[in-house]
Structure 1
């Protein structure tokens, strides 16, 4: 399911899914995804694994634009697919904004996010240029191979009300949108990140 910019298909597919709050506003422990884009734009980052070196590195990279996003009333939400590795992820403060867990991978199912087979995983880890480049950029970030390492993630940018501004579904473990792409999708200056 790839969705064109301007569509509400992603918002419609996700609106009734509830995720478990780890860190975020409000008293409710379970939060409907539609609440994220109800009153303001949102960057919704679906992480692969909390122990993933590349995911941790991307989280640190995304934090560089957090103050600009918050100053422009953009909500920034990270969603993991399992609690495994969460404690270390939190202790090291890799993600600096709201954080939730999609314990049953409802997002992945609703949007048909790719899960890589064993052969594809091996090929990505040892022969994929994008993954090698991402690993080089994050070489000083510790990680591990525990948890569901074959599931790919995604980053969605939505306007207030759920109109899709950016749909970036990972093609491999190293495939992430740049901060400039995210800021541009929101109509913000990509040079200020």
Structure 2
């Protein structure tokens, strides 16, 4: 797995993944797509979790499909204190072996398991990214871009618990 050549975009600015991490351990929150209400909710939850991460342990970076403008709009709309970058060619998703889901995994399954939540969230669906079946995840990278922790979504409603993410940060980022 080589993460060195991964290009990210924020607005009109192209940035290498290594530059986006600033050579620090980094928690990547990879969204299914920027139009997904669950994904936007996950970014807001991550923002709320920031005060539980000891200062200087790791950076947090959001990653979405789409274009750099989509990433910047998402960051500004949600008033996030961490940057969101776009990975339009989904190369980062492929390098991290994040799966593509079936239609069941990205739509029907989560809707049938939690119908009231699904109805509430459907009112906030936006223009989808390039691949609505691409699942996201949470990945903790070392300062030299090695994967320390990886959680791949099993469906669009599947996210790791904050306790698991914080435990990984505490274990690997001293």
State TM-score, norm by structure 2. 0.78
Closer, same or farther: CA 153–138 of 1 in aligned 2, 3 Å: farther
Total equivalences in the alignment: 168
Distance 1:141 1:185, change over 3 A: farther
Query: Would you say 1:20 and 2:4 are equivalent positions?
Result: no
Find 1:54's aligned residue among 34, 38, 51.
Answer: 38
Query: Deviating runs (4+, > 6 A) in structure 1?
Result: none
- The 1:185/1:141 distance shift into structure 2, 3 A limit, reads farther
Q: Is the 8 A contact 2:71 2:84 kept in 1?
A: no
8 A contact 1:81–1:105 mirrored in 2: yes
Of residues 70, 74, 85, the one that matches 1:89 is: 74
Distance 2:73 2:19 in 1: 28
List alignment gaps of at least 5 residues for structure 2: none
Find the counterpart in structure 2 of residue 176 from structure 1.
159
CA contact (8 A) 2:105 2:155 kept: no
Task: Select the residue among 142, 155, 167 that pairs with 1:159.
Answer: 142
Of residues 100, 109, 114, the one that matches 2:99 is 114
Deviation at 1:47, TM superposition (A): 0.8
Q: Distance in 1 between matches of 2:17 and 2:72?
A: 23
Q: Is the 8 A contact 1:13 1:111 kept in 2?
A: no
Aligned-residue CA RMSD in angstroms? 3.1
Aligned position for 2:83: 98
- SS in structure 1 of the partner of residue 2 of structure 2: helix
